[in-house]
Amino acid sequence: MSLLFVINKIIIIQLLILCLYKQTYSERCGLASQATRIVGGQQSRPLSWPWMALLTIRQTSIRSTSLSRCGGSLISDEWVLTAAHCVSPKTGSQISDIQITFGEYDTRRYESTEVKRHVAAVYLDSYSDSSNANDIALLKLNQKLDLKSAHNFLQPICLPTAGLQVKGDTCVATGWGANYGGGRGSDVLQEVRLPIVANNVCQWRWRSAFSPDRQLCAGYMEGGRDTCQGDSGGPLNCQIANGAYLLQGITSYGGGCAQPNSPGVYTKVSTYMPWIERTTGLKFN
């Protein structure tokens, strides 16, 4: 077998791998601005996760008005993916109560990279707040982002092919959530590396609440590192063969924060790709 044949075979295999993850939406996707180096995590750097979105949600009841925060992921110039439990009408919020900030890093101060948008429409896929089933939501922005010029420091994350099976990857969760259970949210964007947990282990922990077809788990069985309150809706970023990051999961729920034997549960994005493409009218793969 000639060396040239072997080299050509390797190149063909690499191209096939890249095609598996290729996003046909016209913008480039998933390229973090730094190598991957939030409980037990560390601070990110500004714009290191250029698809990261901060959702600020005003919730009004008969007695009071409060603000809550969630994360989200930019997937195109006018669509964001987040968790349904962040934006469900049962939270007491309306579409007009949701503000999305892109290019955010330190919430204590204004940054020149901040781009704010409101929400034109919210789409849920048979979400059940009682069981956390289908904890996924699409938000359509009231105004498109200009990713080629004015907002070229922002970038969508890549999306998986439908039915892609997650195995022993180590991924990165990002968000402004609390640094410990019951604590206040972080002022600065945090990141934490988390391994994907086998479905049978997750099923053992969460019993019937866990659906391997629609969810995945990530975290350390010994505890110590995890997502927490305020991280909901944010991305589980998993790096693929070409160096880009793929949105494998959406932060959904967990048992406290970084507790032993309680890996976090994430909505499995690959399961919902047909719904995402139908709703947005875009072809991502």
Residues designated catalytic: 85, 135, 232
Distance CA(233)–CA(148), nearest Å, equals: 26
Q: 3-state SS of 16-74?
A: HHHHHHCCCCCCCCCCCCCCCCCECCEECCCCCCCCEEEEEEEEECCCCEEEEEEEEEE
Distance CA(163)–CA(174), nearest Å, equals: 23
Distance CA(212)–CA(235), nearest Å, equals: 18
Distance CA(171)–CA(123), nearest Å, equals: 27
If residue 199 lies in a helix (H) or strand (E), which one and from where to where? Answer: helix 199-206
Helices (H), the chain: 3-21, 84-87, 199-206, 273-280
**Is 63:48 a contact under the CB 8 Å cutoff?**
no
